[in-house]
Amino acid sequence: MADASRKVEINCKVNGEARTLQVYPMARLLDVLREELRLTGTKEGCGEGECGACSVLIDNVLVNSCLVPVLQAEGAEIKTIEGIASGEQLHAVQEAFIACGGAQCGICTPGMVIAAVNLLERTPNPSEADIRTGLAGNLCRCTGYMKIFEAVVRACQKQNSEARIQNPE
Amino acid sequence: MQTIGRPVPRKEGRDKVTGQARYVDDLIFPEMLYGATVRSAVARGRIKKISFEGNIPWDEFTIVTAKDIPGENCVALILLDQPYLADEFINHPEEPILLLAHPDKHLLEEARRNVQLEIEPLPAIFTLEDSLNRKEIIWGEDNLFKSYKVEKGNVDEVWQSADFIIEGEYETGAQEQLYIENNGVIAIASPEDGVTVWGSMQCPYYVHKALLKLFGLPEDKIRVVQVETGGGFGGKEEYPSMIAGHAALLSWKSGRPVKIVYDRAEDMASTTKRHPSWTKHRTAVSRDGKLLGMEIDFVIDGGAYATLSAVVLSRGTIHAAGPYSCPNVRIKSRAVATNAPPHGEERFAESNKTSRQKKGMGFASFMHGAGFTGSGEKYLESVVGAEATADGRVRILAASTEIGQGTNTIFAQIAAEALRLDYDSIEVAKPDTGAVPNSGPTVASRTCMIVGKLVESAVLGLKQTLSGSGLLKENYTQEDFRQACRSYIEQHGALKSYSKYKAPPGINWDDEKYEGDAYGAYAWAVYVAEVTIDTVTYEARVDDFVAVQEVGKVIHPILAAGQIEGGVAQAIGYTLFENVVWKDGRMINNQMTNYIIPTAADIPPIRVFFEENPYAYGPAGAKGIGELPMDGAAPAILNAIENATGASINHIPLMPESLIEALGGESG
């Protein structure tokens, strides 16, 4: 068993980049991302896995990083909001959030965008019920969710039309 | 190039969707300490002793008590009754007593738990009844923060001649604003350089005013800067003055920058919530359906200190009779004290309800006044500035904050439209009391209508100056305007224009008699809710929601619809989910795990429709919008539940257990 009071070495990939971290094994992944790596796009809303503001992807699985001890990141590929756009080119979900008004105060937005990206990867043509369930772990107090649903639909249409252009039937 | 009415992209949208927007907890200053607040567990009492226990290196800590305050120990707002740190008497649970700072957050939390407070308890009161009956006098001479009376016609005579008299008592609960970003600030303070605070807030000049008194410094020695703010909903109106003062006191004593960011439990337990209320309506109606008279008694629970309860009460009083024509009206209203943390402003709401799966439909018609109530705007004397930048763009200078509602975007639209320029050629300065004039607090559905109008006239002032100096001809292009700005700045150094609030003609209010035009304009709405009641679980679910409103000219269709949808969702939570559980004046479900707000799975389709009736004194004809949607959803939903079940519900939040009671416990 690891001694929780002693720092350990963790090797992982964050947004495609290999990282070696000297951290306390039970440190929250959220704090390591924000404080050690200064990736502050991942937000803390509640610290107990209810609000989803701290959502990140670990090996393409959507998790609340406030509930993940960094020990579990050993060997994993982590993706945060900073890794969603390709350079200056926004992801279709990010573009759609801007176009549809899916972001208001913006504090839930990074987590919500990550959840939406993950939803569209798992379910390329989500029904309204799929969208509602897929985002039910991410609380937003500003929008009433309508504009976020619209953004997911818009991003999905864009992705599908691009896929058709690349792979004509 | 028309900008008003078009869905231009949100100014700070790209930063928000990429995670680049910086909120206060994302900022780290060199040598920064973290601050924590030691609070009372007792509702009312007298501090006997404070001791520092445990295996804690106390000499490493900065410790601040009331004795360390350089100026006055009060949070300056309307009254000066609330201390920054309790010196002797405690008036509510979670009242701040002592502050700690240390570079190590984890040790800081350990230390906070090891400060022992010995407090002699005093009898406390927690209900409106106990406060009104003066079971204990806990504030002033009579527990009364404020009372108002409105009298029109002769109410006493209508009861005899009325065909029907309808009476009812209605209760609403507290509501936690539950912005997803908790309250937080960073402060740097010293006797030589004064005080600078960066924080999450709605009203930078409220914080400025409070810090002036706390430190006894001249105005130019206090600077307050709003950073990106993760939601407010009224919950960051007055409380930031408290947390900003705390961080500044710790910095003043330690000589280092201090950050205080609350965790969720502390934020929920100790910051302001929507006021709980009790209302009694007695209404006289004629056989042909006319309202003959209304008598309304309205009481709100202000908590332990006055804060902004008088302002909230005033708005409630004026909205209490609803949007109806009635010749005889009497409204009596009171804000009273209890030993709970002070209740503050929240996106305003009124509940003015008039009914194996049961379905029902209900509606509500209502209005909401835009701007500060009564003479409020006259006293605020808001000012907005506009300046030309060196490259010939236009920058808006205002203290009105972007808290998600779209201030940056609509100000730029209003300015672009007034000057016939591109949306992109307008910038909006960050609210910083060192750089922008006081355009008033970002509350009361006033930012678009009142401050937006000042933006319009300030930028027109720039154009007038350019035309007057012969640099700009009547028909100009974007490039002409830029060139004119550049030339003016070359010749004169700077180009600025300021505009100050003036009441529109014919708008008068009598503070003494409490009559006249309480608002320059009202938004009007009709909301319809469709519900399903599960007669086994007694859960009420909103299946569909239609919101129709008239808010003057709609500046930005997506932002405006977003305001309505978000407000309706909050109001659905207020009506059916959000139950603040109190024990001895303290919220005990102060977690997102057991204080439930609506998720993506809970919200019905919210269908929003605007009727546009331009208001002559709003920017491009716009009125206020932000608080409107909170007012109508609860009555519409309760009426739908009455329509479905026959049970008339008179209190919110309506939890399944109260619905069981209301329906006599029978199951379908």
Do A64 and A103 reside in the same domain of the chain?
A: no
Closest chain A residue by Cα to residue B10: A98
Contact criterion met (CB below 8 Å) for B569 and B606: yes
Residue A157, pLDDT > 80, answer yes
Domain span at residue B431 reads: 13-21+382-500
* Res B163: pLDDT: 97
| Cβ neighbours for B262, distance < 8 A, ≥ 6 positions apart | B182, B183, B184, B243, B270, B271
CATH of the domain at B91: 3.30.365.10
In this structure, the number of other CB atoms found within 10 A of the CB of residue B544 comes to 15
Contact criterion met (CB below 8 Å) for B622 and B140: no
Amino acid at B154: N
A86 CA: distance to closest CA in chain B (Å)? 11
Question: Is the CB of B359 inside 8 Å of chain A's CB atoms?
Answer: no
Residue A37 lies in a domain: yes
Contacting B residues, span 391-420, partner chain A, CB-CB under 8 Å = 403-406
User: What are the start-end ranges of the E strands in B302-393?
Assistant: 328-336, 357-370, 383-388
Looking at the partner chain, which of B10, B23, B233 has a beta carbon nearest the beta carbon of A103?
B10
Residue A163 or residue B600, greater confidence? B600
Do A17 and A61 reside in the same domain of the chain?
A: yes
CATH of the domain at A129: 1.10.150.120
Q: Looking at chain A, how many residues does it have?
A: 169
HSE value, Cβ hemisphere, 13 Å, CA-based, for A49: 8
Looking at the partner chain, which of A107, A135, A137 has a beta carbon nearest the beta carbon of B230?
A107
Question: Is the CB of B600 inside 8 Å of chain A's CB atoms?
Answer: yes
Mean pLDDT value across residues A61-77: 98
* Mutate which: B6, B15, B17, vs A, most A CBs within 10 A: B17
Do B228 and B363 reside in the same domain of the chain?
A: no
Closest chain B residue by Cα to residue A97: B17
Average pLDDT, chain A: 96
Amino acid at B560: A
Do A18 and A57 reside in the same domain of the chain?
A: yes
Contact criterion met (CB below 8 Å) for A70 and A28: yes
CA distances from residue B646 to B169, B327, B355, B632, B641 in whole angstroms, order as listed: 17, 31, 6, 20, 8
- Split at pLDDT 50, 70, 90, the class of A90 is very high
Contacting B residues, span 63-82, partner chain A, CB-CB under 8 Å = none
3-state secondary structure of B639: helix
Contact criterion met (CB below 8 Å) for B263 and B141: no
Q: Looking at chain B, how many residues does it have?
A: 668
Residue B637, both tokens? 């939903």
Instruction: In whole angstroms, give the CA distance from residue B4 to residue A168.
Output: 41
Residue of B582, B558, B566 lying closest to B232 (CA atoms): B566
Contact criterion met (CB below 8 Å) for B558 and B625: no
Domain boundary among B251, B270, B289: B270
* Res A3: pLDDT: 78
Do B99 and B245 reside in the same domain of the chain?
A: yes
A·B CB contacts under 8 A: 167
Do B531 and B656 reside in the same domain of the chain?
A: yes
Residue A70 lies in a domain: yes
Full DSSP string of B98-115: EEEEES-HHHHHHHHHTE
From chain B, the residues in CB contact with A141 under 8 A are 177-180, 231, 233, 566, 570, 597
Looking at the partner chain, which of B18, B26, B567 has a beta carbon nearest the beta carbon of A94?
B18
Do A69 and A120 reside in the same domain of the chain?
A: no
Do A99 and A141 reside in the same domain of the chain?
A: yes
Q: How far is CA B437 from the centre of its chain?
A: 21
Q: How far is CA B10 from the centre of its chain?
A: 22
3-state secondary structure of B667: coil
CA distances from residue B219 to B195, B202, B208, B432, B473 in whole angstroms, order as listed: 10, 20, 8, 13, 41
Do B523 and B621 reside in the same domain of the chain?
A: yes
Instruction: In whole angstroms, give the CA distance from residue B602 to residue B531.
Output: 12
* Mutate which: A105, A108, A109, A117, vs B, most B CBs within 10 A: A105
A12 CA: distance to closest CA in chain B (Å)? 21
Partner-chain contact B181 A131, CB within 8 Å? no
Do B101 and B41 reside in the same domain of the chain?
A: yes
Partner-chain contact B26 A34, CB within 8 Å? yes
Residue B209, both tokens? 């005013």
**Is the bond preceding B653 in cis, omega lying within 30 degrees of 0?**
yes
Domain span at residue A34 reads: 8-83
Q: How far is CA B176 from the centre of its chain?
A: 11
In this structure, the number of other CB atoms found within 10 A of the CB of residue A114 comes to 27
Provide the b/e sequence for B578-616 (b: ≥16 CB within 10 Å). bbbebeebbbebbbbeebbbbbbebbbebbbebeeeebe
* Mutate which: A146, A149, A150, A153, vs B, most B CBs within 10 A: A146
Residue A136 lies in a domain: yes
Partner-chain contact B179 A107, CB within 8 Å? yes
Neighbouring-strand partners of residue B522: B369
Residue A143 lies in a domain: yes
Closest chain A residue by Cα to residue B405: A104
Looking at the partner chain, which of A53, A141, A149 has a beta carbon nearest the beta carbon of B233?
A141
Residue B108, both tokens? 């800081």
Partner-chain contact B17 A90, CB within 8 Å? yes
* Mutate which: B15, B16, B22, B407, vs A, most A CBs within 10 A: B16
Residue A64 lies in a domain: yes
Residues of chain B with pLDDT under 70: 1, 345-355, 665-668
Do A79 and A103 reside in the same domain of the chain?
A: no
Instruction: In whole angstroms, give the CA distance from residue B171 to residue B39.
Output: 30
Residue B300 lies in a domain: no
Do B103 and B231 reside in the same domain of the chain?
A: yes
* Mutate which: B110, B180, B558, B596, vs A, most A CBs within 10 A: B180
Do B405 and B437 reside in the same domain of the chain?
A: yes
From chain B, the residues in CB contact with A99 under 8 A are 7, 9
Residue of A28, A9, A27 lying closest to A19 (CA atoms): A9
Do B658 and B573 reside in the same domain of the chain?
A: yes
- Burial class (CB within 10 angstroms; exposed 0-12, middle 13-18, buried 19+) of B34: buried
In this structure, the number of other CB atoms found within 10 A of the CB of residue B415 comes to 28
Residue B217 lies in a domain: yes
Domain boundary among B456, B472, B500: B500
From chain A, the residues in CB contact with B20 under 8 A are 41
Residue B82, both tokens? 């609330």
HSE value, Cβ hemisphere, 13 Å, CA-based, for B291: 18
Residue A169, pLDDT > 80, answer no
A34 CA: distance to closest CA in chain B (Å)? 8
Looking at the partner chain, which of A101, A106, A141 has a beta carbon nearest the beta carbon of B597?
A141
Domain boundary among A48, A83, A118: A83
Do A61 and A25 reside in the same domain of the chain?
A: yes
ipTM for this prediction: 0.97
Residue B286 lies in a domain: no
From chain B, the residues in CB contact with A152 under 8 A are none
Residue B301 lies in a domain: no
CATH of the domain at A79: 3.10.20.30
Residue B443 lies in a domain: yes
User: What are the start-end ranges of the E strands in A24-96?
Assistant: 55-58, 61-64, 77-79
Partner-chain contact A107 B181, CB within 8 Å? yes
Do A70 and A16 reside in the same domain of the chain?
A: yes
Do B116 and B233 reside in the same domain of the chain?
A: yes
From chain B, the residues in CB contact with A103 under 8 A are 10, 13, 16-17
* Mutate which: A142, A143, A148, A152, vs B, most B CBs within 10 A: A142
Structural domain count of chain B: 3
Residue A5 or residue A147, greater confidence? A147
Q: State the Cα torsion A25-A29-A34-A40 to the nearest 10°.
A: 170
Structural domain count of chain A: 2
Do B203 and B260 reside in the same domain of the chain?
A: yes
Instruction: In whole angstroms, give the CA distance from residue B560 to residue B552.
Output: 11
Partner-chain contact A103 B17, CB within 8 Å? yes
Helix residue spans in B182-272 (DSSP H): 204-215, 239-254, 264-270
Residue A115 lies in a domain: yes
* Res B345: pLDDT: 67
Residue B354 lies in a domain: yes
Residue A1 lies in a domain: no
Taking each helix axis from N to C end, the angle separating B478-492 and B452-468, rounded to the nearest 10 degrees, works out to: 70
CA distances from residue B411 to A63, B51, B401, B470, B612 in whole angstroms, order as listed: 38, 52, 11, 27, 19
Residue B511 lies in a domain: no
Do B525 and B599 reside in the same domain of the chain?
A: yes
The radius of gyration computed from the CA coordinates of chain B, to the nearest angstrom, equals: 26
Contact criterion met (CB below 8 Å) for B230 and B200: yes
pLDDT digits (tens, 9 = 90+) for A94-126: 999 999 999 999 999 999 999 999 999 999 999
* Res A164: pLDDT: 83
A169 CA: distance to closest CA in chain B (Å)? 33
Contacting B residues, span 295-334, partner chain A, CB-CB under 8 Å = none
* Res B667: pLDDT: 44
* Res B116: pLDDT: 98
Do A120 and A54 reside in the same domain of the chain?
A: no
Question: Is the CB of B562 inside 8 Å of chain A's CB atoms?
Answer: yes
From chain A, the residues in CB contact with B230 under 8 A are 43, 105-108
Do A162 and A104 reside in the same domain of the chain?
A: yes
Residue B513 lies in a domain: no
Q: What's the helix, strand, coil split of chain B in %, to 5? A: 30, 30, 45
* Res B348: pLDDT: 58
Do A77 and A98 reside in the same domain of the chain?
A: no
Partner-chain contact B558 A50, CB within 8 Å? no
* Res B355: pLDDT: 41
Do B109 and B245 reside in the same domain of the chain?
A: yes
Residue A3 lies in a domain: no
Do A66 and A119 reside in the same domain of the chain?
A: no
Partner-chain contact B569 A145, CB within 8 Å? yes
Contacting B residues, span 568-587, partner chain A, CB-CB under 8 Å = 568-570
pLDDT digits (tens, 9 = 90+) for A131-143: 999 999 999 999 9
